[in-house]
Amino acid sequence: MSSPAQSGHQSIDYERHGHGYARRRRPDPTIAARIHAALGDARTVVNVGAGSGSYEPEDRHVLAFEPSEVMRAERPRHLAPAISARAEELPLDGQSVDAALAILTVHHWDNPAAGLRELRRVTRGPVVVVTFDVEALANYWMLADYLPEAVDDDRRRFPGVARIAELLGEARVESVPIPADCVDGFFEAYWARPEAYLDQAVRSAQSIWPRLPPGVEQRAIRSLEADLTSGAWDVRHGHLRSEPGYDGLLVLVISQP
């Protein structure tokens, strides 16, 4: 999921911050169904930036590539071991697999454009990229109200959805609503459960926090806690607690050859 920084933003050190990820980053069934459907009838799948193996289909042959030793060790025993490799240099021949996956990882790559071209090069069928719409992220309440410092870094880090589609070619974009009870612990999963952000164990499985300037995390959490105690958060965003899903943040970019 990560590699040394070369692109002007702070890289996430998963050797330090990746321990215990698998406990919080479990595949959400609703999101998993959308990802697996996008793979079509592919029998061989390469998963790049595979992390702990979340969302890997278990009814197909998967080749997983992950540069972080700690994240490779987080993979459950029933999944095949991941191979140490970076997205930008995949040790595969051209068109050697039926499909490719890149799940919430492109924003961690040193060179997203090179990595996306590699996915297209090695795949003879669909390439499925799961990412966030960076412009929609800028309006997400946790960022807009409490972590404005992260917005500019997100814009540098996340390739735009249109840019991803352009690099892959012949791509369509599908929005994936995030369920209110999403069991995957990524940063945006708690859009309707703001109290969860107060839990250090929840934040420890989210890559946004280690890349913030010193003191920002503590200030943001104090501010959120105060707004939850006073009711100010519910005045502004309380309607979200009764919504079934949050649409517009999470997207699938699906490229056919």
Q: Which residues contact 198 (CB under 8 A, 6 or more apart)?
A: 221, 224, 225, 228
Q: What is the pLDDT of residues 9-68, one digit of tens each?
A: 445 544 444 445 666 678 999 999 999 999 999 999 999 999 889 999 999 999 999 999
Q: Residue 6 above 90 pLDDT?
A: no
The token pair that represents 84 in the structure block: 């140490």
What integer pLDDT is reported at residue 132 of this predicted model? Answer: 96
Q: Are 130 and 250 in contact, with CB atoms under 8 Å apart?
A: yes
Q: Residue 2 above 70 pLDDT?
A: no
Helix (H, G, I), strand (E, B) or coil at 106: helix
Amino acid in the structure at residue 84: S
Q: Give percent above pLDDT 70 in the chain.
A: 91
Q: Using the 8-state DSSP alphabet, how is residue 144 labeled?
A: I
| Helices and strands: H and E segment counts in the chain | 12, 8
User: Angle at CA 90, nearest 5°, toward 86 and 93?
Assistant: 175
Q: Which residues contact 140 (CB under 8 A, 6 or more apart)?
A: 188, 191, 249
User: Angle at CA 168, nearest 5°, toward 90 and 44?
Assistant: 50
- What the chain holds in terms of domains, given with CATH numbers, is 14-255 (3.40.50.150)
Say what the pTM is.
0.89
Spatial distance between the Cα atoms of 236 and 40, rounded to a whole number of angstroms: 41
Q: What is the pLDDT of residues 102-128, one digit of tens each?
A: 999 999 999 999 999 999 999 999 999
User: Mean per-residue pLDDT for 79-88?
Assistant: 94
What integer pLDDT is reported at residue 134 of this predicted model? Answer: 93
Scan for tokens 């990882």, then name that residue. 105
Amino acid in the structure at residue 100: A
